[in-house]
Amino acid sequence: MIDKIDYYKTIESKRLVFKGQKYEKAQVYFANAILIAIGLVLSFKIVEEQTINNPSNADYFVAIFFPCIIIIAIFYECKTLLSRDKLKEINYHQSFDIAKKKIVEAATQLEWELYENTENYYIFKTKFGYISDSQSVTIIFSPDESIYFNSINYPNFYLGRARFVDNYEALMKIYLQL
């Protein structure tokens, strides 16, 4: 599961920050730079190989199509790397304490397993049929009475952000029904 959350840095940055985590932004930018460099080199090699020695129309198609696919895939992965730790604010219309209880009740109705329960945040573990398809849903309560949501993949493929929107919408649907 995920490590302990550094609550004060998380509230300050409005991003999920774990204890002991250092230079996270630099690591993300470095990973993005490497992905972009590899993608550009690979794309250039494909174009170069396909357009050498009297290319046909199929060669031009390959020289354009596959580099575009590579660049699009890299764009989405870079976007995921830059946004996976962002917090989404939950809007509520009751008092803070009532909203907090309703959110926990909604998570319970979704059969999310309460993994960690502190005064400042809750961490739930979800499952979607396969053990490897679990996620950690984090609900953070800030001192200014804001409530934040985040969902990251666990334990496999931490870089992905799959089901973030699905988890948020499911939680809010049940929360609004309560």
Q: Where are the domains of the chain?
A: 24-83, 87-177
Given a cut of 60, is residue 3 above it in pLDDT?
Answer: no
88 DSSP assignment: E
pTM of the model: 0.74
Pick the CATH number of 87-177 from 3.30.310.80, 3.40.50.170, 1.25.40.10, 3.40.50.150: 3.30.310.80
Q: What percent of the chain has pLDDT over 70?
A: 89
β-bridge mates for residue 150, sequence order: 138
* pLDDT at 1 (0 to 100): 47
Given a cut of 90, is residue 46 above it in pLDDT?
Answer: yes
Residue 34 φ then ψ, to 5°: -65, -45
Given a cut of 60, is residue 144 above it in pLDDT?
Answer: yes
* pLDDT at 56 (0 to 100): 92
For 110-143, what is each residue's pLDDT tens digit?
A: 888 888 888 889 988 887 655 556 778 889 998 8
Given a cut of 90, is residue 33 above it in pLDDT?
Answer: yes
* pLDDT at 162 (0 to 100): 56
Q: Which helix (H) or strand (E) holds 60?
A: helix 57-83
For 60-74, what is each residue's pLDDT tens digit?
A: 999 999 999 999 999
Instruction: Go through the chain and tell me how many residues it has.
Output: 178
